[in-house]
Amino acid sequence: MSGVRVLVGTRKGAFVLTSDEGRTRWDVAGPHFAGWEIYHVKGSPLDPSRLFASQSGGWFGQLIQRSDDGGASWSPVGNEFSYDGEAGTHQWYDGTPHPWEFTRVWHLEPSVHDPDTVYAGVEDAALFRSTDGAHSWQELAGLRRHGSGPSWQPGAGGMCLHTIVQDPSTADRLFVAISAAGVFRTDDGGGSWRPMNRGLRSEGIPDPDADVGHCVHRIALHPARPDVLFMQKHWDVMRSDDAGESWHEISGNLPTDFGFPIEVHPHDPDTVYVVPITSDAHHFPPDGKLRVYRSRVGGLEWEPLTRGLPQQDCYVNVLRDAMAVDSLDRCGVYFGTTGGQVYVSADEGDSWAPIVRDLPAVLSVEVQTLP
Amino acid sequence: MIRVALPAHLRVLAGVGGEVELQVTGPVTQRAVLDALEARYPALRGTLRDQRTGQRRAFVRFFGCEQDLSHEPPDAVLPGPITAGAEPLRIVGAMAGG
C-alpha cells in the first residue's frame, strides 16, 4: 500500500511524519537531533530510504546526517565545506567588501540522476557537490567566480544559496537561487554559470536591467516541462517560459505578491501554489488569514484555498523551503509554519488539516511518495 | 589517561554518556587533546574548531582547574592536574541567549 513520508526541519530538531495514502492518520517520529537547527531534510529520488539532513547550530557549527533506513537511524557524514582556493570577497550590507565565510547549509538536493550525488547550497552563497553520498564535498566554484560574485550582497537572512533545481531531462543543467543575487543556470554540470534575471524588477536597484541584486525567494519547475519556471521573488510572482532567459510577472489577483515558497502540482504543470505574506515588514498573512493560493492556469488568475486553515488571528510565516507536494493520484500539498504547524491537503489544496500543531518553528518540509 | 567533559549536544553526537578518557602521546596540549578526541570520535570534527584553520569556534570554551583556558596557545601544555588525569578538561558551549 502506498503512503507518504513528510520530512520536517525545525529550529529544534527534525521530525518524520508518515501516513498511508489516505493522509488522515499520522505517525510522528522525532525530534531527531533535538536542540539543533535543521534547515533541510531531503530524500534521494532514486533511493527513498536514503535521507540527508542539514544539522547546524551557533555553538558547534555544521553537520550533515545521513540515513539509509528512511529516517529510523542516522549517521554523521562529511561536514567540511571549504571554498575552493582564495574565497575572495562579496559586498557587505554597507557596500564594503567582506570575505566569504561559511556559515551553514541551507538546502540539500539529492541528484535525480545518481544516488551518490548530492548538492548543498550554503551561506555565504556557494554550491557544493558530493559524489560519494555526502562523505566529502567539493565546491562548484564556477558559480562564485563567473564574474558578478564580488557584487553579491546578503539579504536580511544572510547571503544564502537556498534553492537548487535540477532539470530532470538534462543532467548538466541546474538552476540555483541566491538571496540577494538572483537565479543562475549552468548547462555544463556546474562548471560555468550565467545569471538568469532578465525581466526581474527590484525596488531599490537603480538599473532595471541589473544582472544580479535580486532577492529571489524560491523557484520551481514541473519535470515534464522543465523550460517553464515559476518564481516567488521578495515581491512579485514571476514566470519564465524559456528556462530562465527572461521572466514576466504573474502575480495577477493575489492579495499581495510577497511570499516565500512556490510549488507546482506534480501532475499538472499549470497548477501552481503560493502562500501570500503581507509584506517584507510584516512576515505574516494578510488580515490574519492563512490562505494558500492556487492558479490552475499557470499564473495571473489565483483562487484562495482556506478550508481548514485558520481564518482569523493567524500571524505565522511560511518559509521558502517549507512547502511540498506528493505525487499520489490526488496530489497532497504540505506546508509548515513558523508557529510549528504542519498542514496537509489530501485533495490538491481544496481542504486542509493540521498533522501537528506544536512543533518548533518549521524551517523546511519535504515529502516522499512511497510505493 | 586524559579526561574530557563534553557538553550535552556533543555527548549525544559522540554517543557517550559521561566523561571520555583519551590516551595522548607526547606533551598534553589543547591541540593534542582535541586531535585525540577527534580521532576517537570523528563525528566531532568541525564542531569544536575549524577543520581547515584549527581555530576554536567562537562559542566553544575550554575550562580546567578553575581556569578559562580558551585563549591559551593551542600548543601550551595544559595544567598539571589535567595532564595527570586528576581533573577533566571541560569543553563548554558559551552561555548565549536570554
**Which of A29, A24, A168 shows the shortest CA–CA distance to A109?**
A168
Distance between CA atoms of residues A227 and A61, nearest Å? 37
- Whose cell is 547549509? That residue is A105
Please list every residue in chain A whose beta carbon sits closer than 8 Å to the beta carbon of residue B9: 35-36, 57, 59-60
Nearest-CB residue to B46 (from A36, A59, A80)? A80
CA distance, residue B80 to nearest chain A CA (Å): 28
The predicted structure's pLDDT at residue A59: 93
Q: Is B13 on the interface with A (CB under 8 A)?
A: yes
The predicted structure's pLDDT at residue B9: 95
Please list every residue in chain B whose beta carbon sits closer than 8 Å to the beta carbon of residue A80: 45-46, 51-52
Please list every residue in chain A whose beta carbon sits closer than 8 Å to the beta carbon of residue B51: 79-80, 82
CA distance, residue B96 to nearest chain A CA (Å): 9
The predicted structure's pLDDT at residue B39: 97
* More confidently predicted of A238 and B94: A238
The predicted structure's pLDDT at residue A1: 59
Q: What percent of chain B has pLDDT over 70?
A: 97
- Three-state secondary structure string covering A167-225: CCCCCCCEEEEEECCEEEEECCCCCCCEECCCCCCCCCCCCCCCCCCCCEEEEEEECCE
Q: Is B54 on the interface with A (CB under 8 A)?
A: no
> Hey, what long-range contacts does A271-276 have (CB within 8 A, 24 or more apart)?
A271/A295, A271/A296, A271/A348, A272/A220, A272/A230, A272/A298, A272/A299, A273/A323, A273/A325, A273/A333, A273/A349, A274/A232, A274/A237, A274/A302, A275/A318, A275/A323, A275/A335
Residues of A with CB under 8 A from a CB of B: 34-36, 57-63, 76, 79-80, 82
CA distance, residue A61 to nearest chain B CA (Å): 6
Q: Do B13 and A58 touch (CB under 8 A)?
A: no
Q: Name the maximum alpha-carbon separation found in chain A.
A: 57
Please list every residue in chain A whose beta carbon sits closer than 8 Å to the beta carbon of residue B91: none
Coil/strand/helix, residue B13: helix
**Which of B60, B10, B56, B59 shows the shortest CA–CA distance to B31?**
B56
Report the predicted TM-score, pTM, of the whole model to 2 decimal places.
0.96
The predicted structure's pLDDT at residue A244: 98
Q: Do A62 and B93 touch (CB under 8 A)?
A: no
CA distance, residue B78 to nearest chain A CA (Å): 23
The predicted structure's pLDDT at residue B68: 95
- Quote the DSSP letter at residue B43: G
Please list every residue in chain B whose beta carbon sits closer than 8 Å to the beta carbon of residue A86: none
* Sign, Cα dihedral of A30, A33, A37, A42: negative
* DSSP state string for A147-169: S-GGG---BTTBSEEEEEEE-TT
Distance between CA atoms of residues B1 and B22, nearest Å? 5
- Would you give per-residue pLDDT tens digits along chain A (371 residues)? 589 999 999 999 999 999 999 999 999 999 999 999 999 999 999 999 999 999 999 999 999 999 999 999 999 999 999 999 988 999 998 889 999 999 999 999 999 999 999 999 999 999 999 999 999 999 999 999 999 999 999 988 899 999 999 999 999 999 999 999 999 999 999 999 999 999 999 877 778 788 999 999 999 999 999 999 999 999 999 999 999 999 999 999 999 999 999 999 999 999 999 999 999 999 999 999 999 999 999 999 999 999 999 999 999 999 999 999 999 999 999 999 999 999 999 999 999 999 999 999 999 999 999 98
Q: Do B57 and A62 touch (CB under 8 A)?
A: no
- Domain definitions of chain A by residue range: 76-351
Pull the grid cell for residue A207. 538599473
Please list every residue in chain B whose beta carbon sits closer than 8 Å to the beta carbon of residue A82: 51-52
**Residue of chain B nearest A101, judged by CA positions:** B50
Residue A134 phi, psi (nearest 5): 85, 15
**Which of A90, A88, A66 shows the shortest CA–CA distance to A77?**
A66
A135-190 confidence digits (pLDDT tens) = 999 999 999 999 999 999 998 889 999 999 999 999 999 999 999 999 999 999 99
Q: What is the mean pLDDT of residues B11-19?
A: 95
| pLDDT exceeds 80 at position B96 | no
Are A365 and A335 in contact by the 8 Å Cβ rule? The answer is: yes
Size of interface A-B (CB pairs under 8 A): 43
Please list every residue in chain A whose beta carbon sits closer than 8 Å to the beta carbon of residue B96: 58-59
Check: complex ipTM more than 0.85: yes
Q: Where on the phi/psi map is residue A84: left (φ > 0), alpha (ψ -120 to 50), or beta?
A: beta
Residue A253 phi, psi (nearest 5): -95, 20
Cβ count within 10 A of residue A329 = 8
Coil/strand/helix, residue A48: coil
Nearest-CB residue to A62 (from B46, B59, B93)? B46
* DSSP state string for A285-348: -GGG---EEEESSSSS--EEE-TTS--SS------TB-EEE--SSS--EEEE-TTS-EEEESST
* Homologous superfamily of A76-351: YVTN repeat-like/Quinoprotein amine dehydrogenase (2.130.10.10)
Nearest-CB residue to A76 (from B13, B57, B96)? B13
B2-93: what CATH class?
A: alpha beta
The predicted structure's pLDDT at residue A35: 95
Nearest-CB residue to A59 (from B12, B42, B59)? B59
Distance between CA atoms of residues B85 and A336, nearest Å? 49
Burial readout B3-27 (b: 16 or more C-beta within 10 A, e: otherwise): bbbbbebbbbbbeeeeebebebeee
Interface test with A, best of B59, B70, B91 (most A CBs within 10 A): B59
CA distance, residue A80 to nearest chain B CA (Å): 7
Coil/strand/helix, residue B1: coil
- Domain definitions of chain B by residue range: 2-93
Please give the single-letter amino acid code of residue A12.
Answer: K
**Which of A72, A87, A73, A76 shows the shortest CA–CA distance to A54?**
A76
Cis-peptide, bond into residue A31, ω within 30° of zero: yes
Distance between CA atoms of residues A190 and A121, nearest Å? 13
**Residue of chain B nearest A75, judged by CA positions:** B43
B42-76 confidence digits (pLDDT tens) = 999 999 999 988 999 999 999 999 999 999 999 99
CA A112 to chain CA centroid, Å, is 16
Q: Do A61 and B52 touch (CB under 8 A)?
A: no
Q: Is B51 on the interface with A (CB under 8 A)?
A: yes
Q: Which whole-number Å values give the CA distances from A259 to A160, A171, A191, A271, A279, in the listed order?
A: 17, 30, 31, 17, 8
The predicted structure's pLDDT at residue B97: 61
Please give the single-letter amino acid code of residue B64.
Answer: G
